[in-house]
Chains A and B, each alone.
Chain A
């Protein structure tokens, strides 16, 4: 039995953050019903990446919304609103990511839902919290990265702000909401009490940076300084970074500089000490190291370093990764199939329970695909 077997999630959310939380709940065994607006549905259906269209929707939509059902309902229409209420009455979890105030105006806010369903777990994601000067701002990933100082952590010192090239604030916010929902479902299973759960993208963006934030306040409020070359973390000493070799790249994590000097045959490195100096003089160290690593291919360096238990790795792209046995053994990709028989490949849930990978063959729903089925279940 999957942990959430028999549970129903009614999901009003769009884009990435909320739908990511419900994807996880679906993979853990819940039935997820997406409530979508007539015409366009979840706006993410049209959020194309590299202009790729797959069976009428964006690849991103297919990745986020597999293993779910879709019902089209107009939240402002009286008859449709009644259907929403009938769904909410039987829901174990409800979630949305509208801006603060929207659900209150529509009448589906927590206080109202709790009246008809006292043990519901009601989850919401906001951009910037439920009050304050930013509530009306769009809760969008790049804007949150930029606002919270995150863009000064990646890339080299001279490159200006560098965004992290994925919607990671969305993903952490969605993941955090999922955790909070699970914790409250656990409490409900023991105590039969519902819960109101909220996570903001703003808090989640700060939380991802908790190491850097704590350092900033303890260390005299100095801004993070990226190294001039091979930066991989503004707060870590040399050699931490990625270096060019004769035929590719090499990643080096934490390690002793003089030891590296000896192993790599680079005498200039042996004069540096670890700790304080490896941090303060990391630009010089990285420059020397970078020039030296250029003289031989990646495999040559890996052979020497791995034998000495140094934390190092090759740098792969997706082609070399997906061809590698270490990737294949994970069985991380799965083939899913939509209601109309269209099949596509995507990733599976990254969590294993009792030795089993959590997979599901159900693809994403067409807009309104399950209206008929759900109406029949509700009204016969």
Chain B
């Protein structure tokens, strides 16, 4: 689209791994020029963190997913000349992000206090694992560890399972949205007041914010712990029956919140036995089992054909094969092709933002370490 909201802005990304670079990707898709500042040779740590051990064009596939639409400038922060160049870049930048552990940027003189002296209008944004103070300040800030420390792992699965982590780096990703929001809000404030600012987020605070509804329940219900259901497939520790996933004759289906008596009647149970709405939570496990014993008798399509016309909130449980072939998905245009430096191509997602009727596509591949040094020197460092 023309006139992307962040066009003309320069973002220097010292961030590595997932949370910071995901925010960088959002800013890039919104129109900013994002330059990764990487150590010469190996580059940022995320290049070596692979999922399924897949590497493409010398970096992990995950790295390519998170870092498309960015440039790379290789510099050694411990080398004085390199550091001077970086400071020159900082003087012209609008945003700087990093996720080093507390103390690292101080050592090279690029902490906020020093950076704002170089550029008082900069937005300086940091991601830590657990904040800058307290007993966990130097602990590794990693998604699974934060899930485990924040109580998040007691919300999925069944009572008998022990902790069940969310099977994606949800804390990293949620933290990335917070970082993005903080940076955008600070940019807005700068546009209104001509002043730069400091934005700080942490994985732990993001993990707590992700649980804000249930934590609010916890601190107001006598501090009871979440009670997951004993029934396999239950979908939420705090929600009443029938909320969950059920086995059918040919697969699985989902039932969200709804009137239990009406649903019972529709699937062949006696609605009369489910009239008392307060029992939908207190007898949750039992109701889930009773529903499961009926729902396994017909196919998913047969059940949906009975339930959907009544306005009952239900749906199929798809795997990727099925989902990606659905017209409803294909029509969204959510996928885009990115041609990598080695000529092979990658099918990945586009930005989720639709602005003035247009989706934001950006198919420029992730950079090699230092790939843009020459053009960046030309654009920012020659005078």
Contacts of A253 in B (CB 8 A): 140, 142-145
Beta-carbon contact of B213 and A211 below 8 Å: no
Q: With an 8 A cutoff between CB atoms, is B247 at the interface? A: yes
Beta-carbon contact of A279 and B52 below 8 Å: yes
Q: Which of B64, B135, B322, B346 has the most CB of A within 10 A?
A: B135
Contacts of B162 in A (CB 8 A): 242, 244, 249
With A249-B162, A326-B130: A143-B254 Cβ-Cβ less than 8 Å: yes
Beta-carbon contact of A211 and B150 below 8 Å: no
Question: Which of B186-194, B268-276, B369-377 lies on the face that meets chain A?
Answer: B186-194
Question: Which of B83-91, B232-240, B259-267 lies on the face that meets chain A?
Answer: B232-240
Identify the closest chain B residue to A233 (Cβ).
B167
Q: With an 8 A cutoff between CB atoms, is B102 at the interface? A: no
Number of residues on chain A facing chain B (CB within 8 A): 146
Q: Please, how many angstroms separate the alpha-carbon atoms of A165 and B354 in the complex?
A: 28
Beta-carbon contact of B356 and A196 below 8 Å: yes
Query: SS class of chain A's interface: helix, strand, loop or mixed?
Result: mixed
Beta-carbon contact of B216 and A347 below 8 Å: yes
Q: With an 8 A cutoff between CB atoms, is B6 at the interface? A: yes
Identify the closest chain B residue to A306 (Cβ).
B139
Q: With an 8 A cutoff between CB atoms, is A210 at the interface? A: yes
Beta-carbon contact of B199 and A184 below 8 Å: no
Beta-carbon contact of A146 and B316 below 8 Å: yes
With A154-B156, A216-B320: A146-B254 Cβ-Cβ less than 8 Å: yes
Residues of A147-205 at the interface with B, using a CB-CB cut-off of 8 Å, are 147-155, 159-168, 171-172, 175-176, 178-180, 182-187, 189-191, 193, 195-200, 202-204
How many A-B contacts are there with CB distance less than 8 Å? 468
Shortest Cβ gap from A296 to chain B (Å) = 17
Beta-carbon contact of A140 and B256 below 8 Å: yes
Contacts of B66 in A (CB 8 A): 211
Q: Please, how many angstroms separate the alpha-carbon atoms of A188 and B243 in the complex?
A: 42
Residues of A221-267 at the interface with B, using a CB-CB cut-off of 8 Å, are 221, 223-224, 226, 231-237, 240-242, 244, 249, 251-254
Beta-carbon contact of B332 and A203 below 8 Å: yes
Q: Please, how many angstroms separate the alpha-carbon atoms of A314 and B146 in the complex?
A: 10
Contacts of A166 in B (CB 8 A): 152, 155, 210-211, 213-214, 236
Q: Please, how many angstroms separate the alpha-carbon atoms of A150 and B219 in the complex?
A: 30
Q: Please, how many angstroms separate the alpha-carbon atoms of A149 and B146 in the complex?
A: 24
Residues of B263-322 at the interface with A, using a CB-CB cut-off of 8 Å, are 278, 281-282, 313-322
Kindly state the interface size class of chain B when it binds its partner.
35 or more
Contacts of B210 in A (CB 8 A): 166, 168, 171
Contacts of B316 in A (CB 8 A): 146-147
Contacts of B221 in A (CB 8 A): 50, 52, 59
Q: With an 8 A cutoff between CB atoms, is B61 at the interface? A: yes
Beta-carbon contact of A226 and B167 below 8 Å: yes
Contacts of A184 in B (CB 8 A): 5, 355
Shortest Cβ gap from B135 to chain A (Å) = 5
Q: Please, how many angstroms separate the alpha-carbon atoms of A332 and B218 in the complex?
A: 14
Cβ-neighbour of B65 out of A150, A210, A319 (below 8 A):
A210
With A129-B331, A208-B168: A165-B237 Cβ-Cβ less than 8 Å: yes
Beta-carbon contact of B6 and A350 below 8 Å: no
Question: Which of B34-42, B74-82, B103-111, B173-181 lies on the face that meets chain A?
Answer: B173-181
Q: With an 8 A cutoff between CB atoms, is B11 at the interface? A: no
Q: With an 8 A cutoff between CB atoms, is B381 at the interface? A: no
Beta-carbon contact of A218 and B134 below 8 Å: no
Cβ-neighbour of A51 out of B155, B282, B355 (below 8 A):
B282
Q: Please, how many angstroms separate the alpha-carbon atoms of A193 and B4 in the complex?
A: 12
Q: Please, how many angstroms separate the alpha-carbon atoms of A138 and B313 in the complex?
A: 7
Q: Please, how many angstroms separate the alpha-carbon atoms of A359 and B82 in the complex?
A: 41
Shortest Cβ gap from B293 to chain A (Å) = 15
With A251-B145, A279-B52: A155-B331 Cβ-Cβ less than 8 Å: no
With A129-B332, A329-B133: A207-B349 Cβ-Cβ less than 8 Å: yes
Q: List 27 A-B contacts (CB under 8 A).
A: A3-B185, A51-B278, A63-B217, A142-B243, A142-B244, A147-B323, A149-B319, A149-B323, A161-B317, A172-B173, A185-B188, A200-B354, A212-B168, A213-B320, A213-B335, A215-B61, A219-B52, A232-B165, A236-B52, A249-B163, A315-B149, A318-B215, A328-B134, A329-B133, A351-B185, A353-B189, A354-B197
Q: A142-B235, A175-B181 are in contact. List 5 more A-B contacts (CB 8 A).
A: A3-B192, A146-B317, A160-B233, A223-B321, A349-B209
Give A contacts to B, CB under 8 Å: 1-4, 16, 24, 28, 47-52, 54, 59-60, 62-64, 128-129, 131-134, 137-138, 140-143, 145-155, 159-168, 171-172, 175-176, 178-180, 182-187, 189-191, 193, 195-200, 202-204, 206-219, 221, 223-224, 226, 231-237, 240-242, 244, 249, 251-254, 275-276, 278-279, 309, 311-319, 321, 324-326, 328-330, 332-333, 344-347, 349-355
